[in-house]
Structure 1
Amino acid sequence: MKKKDLVALVLAFVVLVVLLLLPTPESLPIVGHRVLAILAFAVILWVTEAVKYPVSSVMIIGLLAVFVGLSPTIEDPSTIYGTKEALGMAVSGFSSTAVVLVGGALFLAAAMEHTGLHQRLALFIMSKVGIKANRLVIGTILVSFVLALFVPSATARAGTIIPILLGMVAAFGLGKTSRLAALLVITAVQSISIWNVGIKTAAAQNMVALGFMQSEFGVDVAWGEWFLYAAPWSILMSILLYIIMTRLIKPEETKLTGGNSIQAQLNELGNIKAEEIRLIIISLSLLILWSTEGVIHPFDSTTLMVIAVAIMLTPKVGIFNWGEVQNKIPWGTLIVFATGISLGKVLLDTEAATWLSSNTFEALGVTSLSLLGMIAVLAAFNIFIHLGFASATSLASTLIPIVIALVIGMEPTSFNGPGLVLIMQFVICFGFLLPVNAPQNMLAYGTGTFTTKDFLKSGVPITIVGYILILVFSATYWQWVGLL
């Protein structure tokens, strides 16, 4: 273990102990006090990445089981929860349908990797857009959008498109440190973040928010509903991304040679295989059924995903067998995801989120603002604290329960409370400013095609424009379609 990681781990435990020893505020239940101490411990580990995320998840579960288990209940302070009940609370996220949807999404991503279909899609699109620099930027954005429909992992999408872009740059006779490489790679990851907002199944952190909303409000957002709400924002942001990037980073040449390399890479893949055709049928069927959920059929997104996974694993008609796929699934991602949902639910159930909300947002006068003013402050706060988080899933696990508590504390409201929560989830997907703000950014940064300064230089205007669009949509479109 590196020294800085050891220091961060020790710091997390010190903060945990210090907070536990502090007097419990009168308005906060003892169990809520202890859960907030565990939240502080979790945030330090998440921000510093002192240990791997699955390791921190197991630590969080253990701490919740012990400290909640030994705490007096809110209903009857003369009795304690007991470690058995507390452990049930600590792992409650594992039974969430949102976790099942993410698990299915990981299988779909593995199927794309197994067949190479995601690479064929990306190369096909890039082969059609032309080899002028501005057309390559358009192609990069289009690939990010199309892959977001079929590859429900931002990191996997980045892992697909970035090698293709670097291969093109090399074929044009330019190096990794060329301005063209920086232009295309930064555009790719910024576009991936933009479409994390636009498509419900594009990112795991979206499922975190939906899991909380389902638990606390009893509402679900269908795939088509999410697309109706968020896709117009992402479309406008994609156009603005093109304008910003093509003016911000000027490539070495406006007309490039060597475009045949794209077709050559496509030819290397050979003719489309039977398993790719089957995966196309499965993926398109999912997309059609997701987008018509609640309109022409009663099946929810998660059930459809489970059926798709079952078909992909069925001999003869499927894509792979269990032995081929089990090592391709990042099981640790599911543990982290489920633990984040558990922690958020415990924050809400123990009134810790309510107390935190009243002593932060309410104390700052957020509840006295107009709806637009409230969104402006919450979104700005959201963007600011994202600077310290490398995982949007962890940020959603921390922030969304507090926003939900804020909304519940304001009821009845003149606006749609779940809609406000969903908009804050859109902002959680931003991650435009620094390479460390998202895994796909770090993957791109590792190629050496750009510096942190380059990324920040593009991230600042993209973040400002995205923030303004959030406010504009909140004042207009999202009210027109009933989100607010």
Structure 2
Amino acid sequence: MSKVEKENKFQMVWVFVALTVMIIINILPTPEGLTVMGQRSLSILAFAIIMWVTEAVSYSVSSVMIVGLIILLIGFSPVETLGEQLGKPDMASDELFGSKNALSLAFKGFSTSAVALVAAALFLASAMQITNLHKRIALYVLSIVGDKTKAVVAGAIIVATILAFFVPSATARAGAVVPILIGMVAAFGLEKKSRMSALLVITAVHAVSIWNIGIKTAAAQNLVALGFINSAMDEEVSWIQWFIWAAPWSIIMCVVLYFVMTTLVKPEYDRIDGGKALIQKELSELGPMKGKEIRLVVIAIGLLLLWSTEKILHPLDSASVTLIALALMLAPKIGVFEWKEVEKTINWGTIIVFAIGISLGSLLLSTGGAAWLSDMTFGALGLTTWPIVAVIALVGIFNILIHLGFASATSLASALIPVFISLAQSMNLGDQSLGFVLIQQYLICFGFLLPVSAPQNMLAYGTGTFDAKDLLKTGIPITVIGYLLILLFTFTYWQWTGLL
């Protein structure tokens, strides 16, 4: 049996396990305090988690499966007392919900502004890749910092920071800077798998992950969380609000990252001779800025200004602003790319996964499945009576540990944010509910420990420049310090700024 056949057989085993677990949950007696529809929504969640963690099929395929399960299981469920929550107040409690209504729930995620923002953000990231503007920015910054190894480390962090404002894709940001750093090491004559390579590449991907937390539009999982927060808690978080709350943490962690990396990973040499010359060569090969790049710079800066002044100077939300920018990027003469170019560079499955994840989370909230799960887990531990700081600390550890099994923070946010919202509601946190859920979202963005913890880690790991143990060696102290800094901010800064 070939390796591919073995992998396919193993994948089918996990699909069978996921279906079996789902069926068992459905045939068990409905627990007290949970509706039939809530029980069935939890069975779909169990199926989804097994599929996401094991990656038995691609995320896009598992999303289509989830849609089918929602139609079948929810469509043939009695409405019971959930008519109003499900948007069907006129339906009798013993009436079946129906496949047509269930289909509407399955596709509910596609109608959210968060999905519109993610889709538009993918186009923006695509524009950066097509024009090579993100590469030009990375080369320009690295050309300034010089060729001392520590300076290049700092340069990699600065590049990741700058790109986080303009490139709403962690993978795209990593894809811009990692090949340049590898090229610098190769120009020096070192092997690909050297300590110098490990130092530079791991620094770059850690910096990318750190800024996933600092900027609202830097990562899709943030938008998943905000979609749930908006629909379930009726709270809006503007770009600048998120930045004020989270960016200081990211800035401090970038300083921490610099010292952790330069202390724990000792490179072969203190200077990369020839590295600066390589960067200048690559810059010259790019040539002078083209018209499309200049127009993209103008659009990107305008977009950043509109994002940061949301609810201050204008009433437009982040999604609306980004879609307007997308229209400009596609417009004849003044745009930066054509539709045919975009089709080749965007992973359309990302939009499907994102939207179905929101649909599943919304289903858990509206059927009471998330609330029941929160009561049975965190409620059973007595967390609902604990001080909020203690709950943040304990649930935060749970968050970090469970991320070890998830390759997608977007999927993790889809599964956990509805549960955290229900926990906040059961604790009667009031104005602190938003802060509690957002802080848990920050922790969901932690992806420092394993290659499978984040797509940007996998991209870097695929270059063959470091081992999993190298990532773990640096990821453990960054995770511990990042977690302790979260707790420090919980006691101080976030209370001063009104998040808690």
Q: Which amino acid aligns with 1:431?
A: G
5+ residue gaps in structure 2?
Answer: 1-6, 82-91
Contact 2:184–2:272 (CA<8 Å) still a contact in 1? no
TM-superposed deviation, 1:475: 0.6
Contact 1:34–1:67 (CA<8 Å) still a contact in 2? yes
The residue that corresponds to 1:139 in the other structure is 155
CA distance in 2 between counterparts of 1:265 and 1:361 reads 54
**Is structure 2 residue 50 aligned with structure 1 residue 44?**
yes
Deviation per CA, 1:149-183, whole angstroms, max 9, x where unpaired?
11100111111111111001111111111101000
Q: Which amino acid aligns with 1:83?
A: S
The residue that corresponds to 2:366 in the other structure is 349
The residue that corresponds to 2:3 in the other structure is none
TM-superposed deviation, 1:256: 2.5
Deviation per CA, 1:423-443, whole angstroms, max 9, x where unpaired?
111000001111111111111
Q: Secondary structure at the match of 1:380?
A: helix
TM-superposed deviation, 1:206: 0.4
CA distance in 1 between counterparts of 2:156 and 2:434 reads 33
CA distance in 2 between counterparts of 1:328 and 1:133 reads 33
Contact 2:396–2:443 (CA<8 Å) still a contact in 1? yes
TM-superposed deviation, 1:255: 2.2
The number of residues matched between the two structures is 483
Q: Secondary structure at the match of 2:377?
A: coil
Q: Which amino acid aligns with 1:462?
A: I
CA distance in 2 between counterparts of 1:410 and 1:371 reads 9
Q: Following superposition of structure 1 onto structure 2, how do residues 40-439 of structure 1 map, counting pairs within 5 Å?
A: 40-75=46-81, 76-258=92-274, 259-411=276-428, 413=429, 415-439=431-455
CA distance in 2 between counterparts of 1:414 and 1:63 reads 35
Q: Following superposition of structure 1 onto structure 2, how do residues 17-36 of structure 1 map, counting pairs within 5 Å?
A: 17-36=23-42
TM-superposed deviation, 1:410: 2.2
Q: Which amino acid aligns with 1:126?
A: L
CA distance in 2 between counterparts of 1:383 and 1:81 reads 37
Deviation per CA, 1:396-455, whole angstroms, max 9, x where unpaired?
0000000001111222x3652011101111000001111111111111111111111111
CA distance in 1 between counterparts of 2:8 and 2:185 reads 36
Contact 1:74–1:350 (CA<8 Å) still a contact in 2? no
Q: Which amino acid aligns with 2:79?
A: T
CA distance in 1 between counterparts of 2:292 and 2:459 reads 29
Q: Secondary structure at the match of 1:112?
A: helix
Q: Secondary structure at the match of 2:192?
A: coil
CA RMSD of aligned residues (A): 0.9
Q: Which amino acid aligns with 1:281?
A: V
CA distance in 1 between counterparts of 2:167 and 2:206 reads 16
Q: Following superposition of structure 1 onto structure 2, how do residues 437-448 of structure 1 map, counting pairs within 5 Å?
A: 437-448=453-464
Q: TM-score, normalised by structure 2?
A: 0.95
CA distance in 2 between counterparts of 1:181 and 1:328 reads 28
CA distance in 1 between counterparts of 2:306 and 2:205 reads 28
Deviation per CA, 1:177-234, whole angstroms, max 9, x where unpaired?
1101000111111111100000100000000000000001111111111100000000
Deviation per CA, 1:338-361, whole angstroms, max 9, x where unpaired?
000000000000000000000001
CA distance in 2 between counterparts of 1:68 and 1:407 reads 26
Identity of aligned residues (%): 57
CA distance in 2 between counterparts of 1:444 and 1:322 reads 29
Deviation per CA, 1:121-163, whole angstroms, max 9, x where unpaired?
0000010011111111100000111111111001111111111
CA distance in 2 between counterparts of 1:16 and 1:87 reads 19
Q: Which amino acid aligns with 2:30?
A: T
Contact 1:194–1:238 (CA<8 Å) still a contact in 2? yes
CA distance in 1 between counterparts of 2:476 and 2:325 reads 40
